[in-house]
A and B are shown apart, each in its own frame.
Chain A
């Protein structure tokens, strides 16, 4: 860059410097309909290959179920996407332009990837509404945290989410006093407040009753379309329920993709049957 062009830039009042732009969910370039690319990813912990040359593509707006036996690398995969674990090799892209491997957890969360943990982790000492408020999509600098108050639109969004997760009557209750299933929904509600482009949901129905499971399946299906949703789950009935209507199911085994297809295809796949039932 020449000196003259630098001057020109400084004098130009409308010039937008890169640091002024934040990666916002609506900036994500999905011109190829693919939202998340994981290519050739490997991670090993003390010589144990948790993820082994994993390739996975999630389309924009799709609901994808991921199943696999224990130790297949499902949680490690989520750790990589959300920046908790760095892979040894491979690449992870969010849309065409955002390289996830360059970012840390808060940056990835702000770029539009939300995560629900296996064990429900809500903030027990805060009320249900406060939990949702914390998760709300907003600027996260120290100054805005200090000075911000809810706008009318944000309040409406909060009420709407409370209604959707069925906790409108419990909004002032401490999150710690909710039942296990309600905590799971609260966490899903927190994900919705974040308005992420991609939701990673780890075992959402662990420890739920059947009615609660159906309700959760409904919730997650309603989210697909405007968000991409990736659900990791052990419970086969639940996955069958979610994947109804020809949605794609991915089977992970020993850190890589074993099979991919509709639920019926996957269930009749010889390799999958072997892994699940033994030779």
Chain B
């Protein structure tokens, strides 16, 4: 069924092709000598890896917003939780190489005069446990939150507002030192992952490839889910929720299932993001981040999945460029872009391309 879905999915074919080419070409071009015209510096590799994880987050948001009509303004919370789970693993890998050289406790706990590891840090020495938590913690939170919200039929603007409240509450909680997640400094100063030095070029290439692969698999999963009857039920719920109920569909279960899968994807994106940027702190929970993701999806084109990838890459590239060259312009450019897209391109950048293709 997936193959059949991909056959009708031009944008998806292009995306998969580009990702496969990147996974092979970027490591090769990185090997060229630094003076060479085609040399891709490691800094750029990591930057691209970071963009790819953000694109995966955008795909996760498109799954719930584009197909199911849930305007989530809190998905960065799931992204950050996945990031924190990975960050905790990376903290445990530091061992006694911290500033205080304590073999048992991370630096910030030594600084707070704690004498033993809190219970919720147990198990994060092991990669498999951390990887499991990357999926389980965001998934569980989304499940509980979704069960409460969707059962009581909260939808529309009200749901958007409580997703904002969710991520804001988490941000405030993670800012507190007593929480045991490093307070406002967050988790940083990572040394290695699975025994590989995080500063080494080869590790950075590995993380880049892992990010591209995660985006590829995440895209395929979402495409698979939305290609069958579930996708049509989602669209039905998005466009006429009560009608879907009168057809006998348990709307809340559909929403809950898709929302949970989406949160888990966001968690994976966060877990791959953290080792590449080298830090995770409570700012990642800030409500503004979640809103920005929605802007990426809107700019790229809703309910296409590949549009979310395009939007995330275009805007983040623009962000990197503008904040370096014209820092005072960036926020105006972002706001202006959102207005222009909403007014002139309701189906986003990819909608424009599709229209051109259809008329050709």
In the complex, which residues of chain B have a beta carbon less than 8 angstroms from the beta carbon of A148? 228-229
A125–B66 alpha-carbon span in the complex (Å): 13
Q: Kindly name the residue among B225, B233, B247 whose own CB sees the greatest number of chain A CB atoms within 10 A.
A: B247
A145–B248 alpha-carbon span in the complex (Å): 12
A140 in contact with B250 given A123-B236, A123-B240 (CB within 8 Å): yes
A142–B253 alpha-carbon span in the complex (Å): 7
Asked if residues B229 and A145 are in contact (CB atoms below 8 Å), the reply is yes
Q: State whether the Cβ of B354 lies closer than 8 Å to any Cβ in chain A.
A: no
In the complex, which residues of chain A have a beta carbon less than 8 angstroms from the beta carbon of B250? 106, 140, 142
Asked if residues A123 and B254 are in contact (CB atoms below 8 Å), the reply is no
Q: Kindly name the residue among B1, B236, B239, B248 whose own CB sees the greatest number of chain A CB atoms within 10 A.
A: B248
Q: State whether the Cβ of B235 lies closer than 8 Å to any Cβ in chain A.
A: yes
In the complex, which residues of chain B have a beta carbon less than 8 angstroms from the beta carbon of A133? 229, 232
A194–B249 alpha-carbon span in the complex (Å): 12
Binds B, one of A9-17, A34-42, A109-117, A205-213: A109-117
Q: Per-residue 0/1 for A95-130: is the Cβ within 8 Å of any B Cβ (1 yes, 0 no)?
A: 000000000011001100011010001011110001
- Chain A residue nearest in CB terms to B250: A106
Interface size on B, residues (CB 8 A): 24
Q: Per-residue 0/1 for B210-231: is the Cβ within 8 Å of any A Cβ (1 yes, 0 no)?
A: 0000000000000001001110
Within B234-255, which residues are at the interface with A (CB < 8 Å)?
235-236, 239-240, 242-251, 253-254
A78–B230 alpha-carbon span in the complex (Å): 28
A140 in contact with B235 given A145-B229, A146-B229, A146-B230 (CB within 8 Å): no
In the complex, which residues of chain B have a beta carbon less than 8 angstroms from the beta carbon of A106? 245, 248-251
Within B1-29, which residues are at the interface with A (CB < 8 Å)?
1
A182 to chain B, nearest CB (A): 17
Q: Kindly name the residue among A114, A125, A126, A134 whose own CB sees the greatest number of chain B CB atoms within 10 A.
A: A134
Q: State whether the Cβ of A161 lies closer than 8 Å to any Cβ in chain B.
A: no
A123 in contact with B243 given A106-B249, A110-B248, A130-B232 (CB within 8 Å): yes
A115 in contact with B229 given A126-B236, A142-B257 (CB within 8 Å): no
A136 to chain B, nearest CB (A): 9
Asked if residues B232 and A105 are in contact (CB atoms below 8 Å), the reply is no
Asked if residues B233 and A145 are in contact (CB atoms below 8 Å), the reply is yes
Q: State whether the Cβ of A184 lies closer than 8 Å to any Cβ in chain B.
A: no
Option from B225, B232, B242 in Cβ contact (under 8 Å) with A134? B232
In the complex, which residues of chain A have a beta carbon less than 8 angstroms from the beta carbon of B235? 123, 125-126
Q: Per-residue 0/1 for A54-91: is the Cβ within 8 Å of any B Cβ (1 yes, 0 no)?
A: 00000000000000000000000000001010000000
A109–B228 alpha-carbon span in the complex (Å): 22
- Chain B residue nearest in CB terms to A147: B228
Asked if residues A109 and B239 are in contact (CB atoms below 8 Å), the reply is no
A194–B239 alpha-carbon span in the complex (Å): 20
Please tell me the size bucket of the interface on A: 20 to 34
A225–B240 alpha-carbon span in the complex (Å): 30
Option from A110, A115, A124, A140 in Cβ contact (under 8 Å) with B239? A124
Q: State whether the Cβ of A251 lies closer than 8 Å to any Cβ in chain B.
A: no
A182–B7 alpha-carbon span in the complex (Å): 31
In the complex, which residues of chain B have a beta carbon less than 8 angstroms from the beta carbon of A194? 247-248
Q: State whether the Cβ of A135 lies closer than 8 Å to any Cβ in chain B.
A: yes
Q: Kindly name the residue among B228, B229, B242 whose own CB sees the greatest number of chain A CB atoms within 10 A.
A: B229
A186 to chain B, nearest CB (A): 12
Asked if residues A135 and B230 are in contact (CB atoms below 8 Å), the reply is no
Asked if residues B246 and A115 are in contact (CB atoms below 8 Å), the reply is yes
A230–B1 alpha-carbon span in the complex (Å): 40
B97 to chain A, nearest CB (A): 47
B226 to chain A, nearest CB (A): 11
In the complex, which residues of chain B have a beta carbon less than 8 angstroms from the beta carbon of A82? 246
Asked if residues B245 and A134 are in contact (CB atoms below 8 Å), the reply is no
Within A239-264, which residues are at the interface with B (CB < 8 Å)?
none
In the complex, which residues of chain A have a beta carbon less than 8 angstroms from the beta carbon of B232? 123, 126, 130, 133-134
In the complex, which residues of chain B have a beta carbon less than 8 angstroms from the beta carbon of A123? 232, 235-236, 239-240, 243
Q: Per-residue 0/1 for A145-169: is the Cβ within 8 Å of any B Cβ (1 yes, 0 no)?
A: 1111100000000000000000000
Asked if residues A134 and B246 are in contact (CB atoms below 8 Å), the reply is no
In the complex, which residues of chain B have a beta carbon less than 8 angstroms from the beta carbon of A51? none
A140 in contact with B236 given A123-B243, A146-B230 (CB within 8 Å): no
24 pairs of residues in contact across A and B, judged by CB atoms under 8 Å? A84-B242, A105-B242, A105-B245, A105-B246, A109-B246, A123-B232, A123-B239, A123-B243, A124-B239, A125-B235, A126-B235, A134-B233, A135-B247, A140-B249, A141-B253, A142-B253, A142-B257, A145-B228, A145-B249, A145-B254, A146-B230, A148-B229, A149-B1, A194-B247
Closest 10 A/B residue pairs (Cβ)? A109-B248, A105-B245, A110-B248, A121-B243, A123-B236, A146-B230, A106-B250, A121-B240, A145-B230, A106-B248
Interface residues of A (CB under 8 A from B): 82, 84, 105-106, 109-110, 114-115, 117, 121, 123-126, 130, 133-135, 140-142, 145-149, 190, 194
Q: A121-B243, A146-B229 are in contact. List 11 more A-B contacts (CB 8 A).
A: A106-B245, A106-B249, A106-B250, A109-B246, A109-B248, A123-B243, A125-B239, A134-B249, A145-B230, A146-B230, A147-B228
